[in-house]
Chains A and B, each alone.
Chain A
Amino acid sequence: MAASNIPREIIEIILSKLPSVKPLLRFKTVSKSWNTLISDLVFIQTHLHSLKTSPDNLFLSRYKKSANSGFPMVKFEGGKVDAGVIFVENIPNSYNAILCECNGVLLLTRYDYDEYALWNPSTRETFPINYHGEFSGSYILDYGVCYDQITADFKVVFVSLTEYEIYSCNKNSWTKKNFRTDYYNVAGTGSGIFLDGATYWIFGEGSHTSGIQLVYFDPRTDEIKRLQKPKQLSDDDKYQLIRMDTFRGSLCLYCYNNQEESVQIWIKEKGIDLGYTNWKEFITVRDFKP
Chain B
Amino acid sequence: MAAETGTPTTLTLKSNDDELFSVAESAAILSVTIRNMVEDGCAGGVIPLDNVDGKTLASVITYMNGISAIPADEEKKKSYRDKFLSDKDFETLADMVLAANYLNMSCLMDAVSAKIAQVMEKKSVGWVRRKFGIENDYTPEEEAAVKEEHKWTFEGVETDDDN
Closest Cβ of chain B to A33, distance in Å, is 8
Q: Which residue of A lies closest to B122 (CB)?
A: A23
B131 contacts A3, CB within 8 Å? yes
A28 contacts B146, CB within 8 Å? yes
Q: Which of chain A's residues 1-57 have a Cβ closer than 8 Å to chain B? A: 1-6, 10-11, 13-15, 17-20, 22-23, 25-35
B129 at the interface (CB under 8 A from A): yes
B109 contacts A2, CB within 8 Å? no
A17 to B132, CA, bound (A): 16
Q: Which residue of A lies closest to B148 (CB)?
A: A29
A3 contacts B146, CB within 8 Å? no
User: Contacts of B122 on A, CB cut-off 8 Å?
Assistant: 23
- Contact of A5 with B98 at beta-carbon distance under 8 Å, contacts A14-B120, A26-B153, A31-B138 already known: yes
A124 at the interface (CB under 8 A from B): yes
A32 contacts B132, CB within 8 Å? no
B150 contacts A23, CB within 8 Å? no
A14 to B154, CA, bound (A): 20
Q: How large is the interface on B (under 10, 10 to 19, 20 to 34, 35 or more residues)?
A: 35 or more
A34 to B157, CA, bound (A): 19
A14 contacts B97, CB within 8 Å? yes
Q: Which residue of B lies closest to A27 (CB)?
A: B128
Partner of A6, one of B98, B118, B147: B98
A31 contacts B134, CB within 8 Å? yes
User: Contacts of A6 on B, CB cut-off 8 Å?
Assistant: 94, 97-98, 132
* Tally of A interface residues using CB under 8 Å: 29
B133 contacts A14, CB within 8 Å? no
B146 contacts A15, CB within 8 Å? no
A18 contacts B121, CB within 8 Å? yes
Partner of B131, one of A2, A15, A20, A28: A2
User: Contacts of A35 on B, CB cut-off 8 Å?
Assistant: 146
B113 at the interface (CB under 8 A from A): yes
- Contact of A3 with B91 at beta-carbon distance under 8 Å, contacts A18-B120, A31-B137 already known: yes
- Contact of A26 with B150 at beta-carbon distance under 8 Å, contacts A3-B90, A14-B97, A19-B117 already known: yes
A14 contacts B150, CB within 8 Å? no
User: Contacts of B131 on A, CB cut-off 8 Å?
Assistant: 2-3
B134 contacts A30, CB within 8 Å? yes
A15 contacts B117, CB within 8 Å? yes
Counting chain B CB atoms within 10 Å of each CB, the highest count among A3, A4, A18, A23 belongs to: A3
Q: Which of chain B's residues 92-145 have a Cβ closer than 8 Å to chain A? A: 94-95, 97-98, 101, 109, 113-114, 116-118, 120-123, 125, 128-138, 143
User: Contacts of B146 on A, CB cut-off 8 Å?
Assistant: 28-29, 35
- Contact of A10 with B128 at beta-carbon distance under 8 Å, contacts A3-B94, A18-B120, A31-B135 already known: no
Scoring B residues 62 to 88 as 1 if CB is less than 8 Å from chain A, else 0, what string do you get?
A: 000000000000000000000000000
- Contact of A28 with B150 at beta-carbon distance under 8 Å, contacts A2-B133, A11-B132 already known: yes
Please name 18 further chain A to chain B contacts, defined as beta carbons within 8 Å, in addition to the given A17-B113, A23-B153, A28-B150, sorted by A numbering. A2-B130, A2-B131, A3-B90, A3-B133, A4-B133, A5-B98, A6-B98, A10-B113, A11-B132, A18-B117, A18-B121, A23-B121, A26-B157, A30-B129, A30-B136, A31-B135, A31-B137, A35-B146
